[in-house]
Amino acid sequence: AQSVAQPEDQVNVAEGNPLTVKCTYSVSGNPYLFWYVQYPNRGLQFLLKYITGDNLVKGSYGFEAEFNKSQTSFHLKKPSALVSDSALYFCAVRDGVYNTDKLIFGTGTRLQVFP
């Protein structure tokens, strides 16, 4: 079965420190992986995606994600966190069973960046 796991409900980090938000996946076939961010009272906003190619993917707002096939992980990273990065982050994988645009979302990780 296709699935995505975000093992941490919340991640706390001090401003200026590096941050990592974890995601692992289980899919049949090649994974299409996504990260979305949700700021308070807003819709989900696309951050970055991995389809193929370079394992390190760069996205919006200085975020990047590292695809690791052997560990079936797609962790979101940023070298230096900002207070404004505080938000809810979702990892998602395209449902590879059927040829559709349906995404399977993780449960979300709340990132808190403290000044």
Partner 1 sequence: DAGVIQSPRHEVTEMGQEVTLRCKPISGHDYLFWYRQTMMRGLELLIYFNNNVPIDDSGMPEDRFSAKMPNASFSTLKIQPSEPRDSAVYFCASSSGRVPNTQYFGPGTRLTVL
Size of the site for partner 1 (CB under 8 A): 19
CB neighbourhood size of 33 (10 A): 23
Regarding 51 and contact with partner 1 (CB under 8 A), the answer is yes
94 scored as a contact of partner 1 (CB under 8 A): yes
Q: Is 103 in the site for partner 1 (CB under 8 A)?
A: yes
CA angle 76, 80, 84 (to 5 degrees): 85
Find the part of the chain contacting partner 1 (CB under 8 A) among 19-27, 39-47, 63-71, 76-84: 39-47
Both structure tokens of 99 = 């040829």
Stretch that binds partner 1, among 13-21, 23-31, 69-77, 97-105 (CB under 8 A): 97-105
Minimum distance of partner 1 from residue 15's CB (angstroms): 27
Say which DSSP state 69 is in: T
The rounded distance, in Å, linking the Cα atoms of 114 and 85 is: 10
Binding residue for partner 1, selected from 43, 53, 54, 115, defined by CB under 8 A: 43
Q: 71: helix, coil or strand?
A: coil
Amino acid letter, 83: V
SS3 string of 31-45? CCEEEEEECCCCCEE
Cβ nearer to partner 1, comparing 78 with 94: 94
Return residues touching partner 1 (CB under 8 A): 32, 34, 36, 42-46, 49, 51, 90, 94, 100-103, 105, 107-108
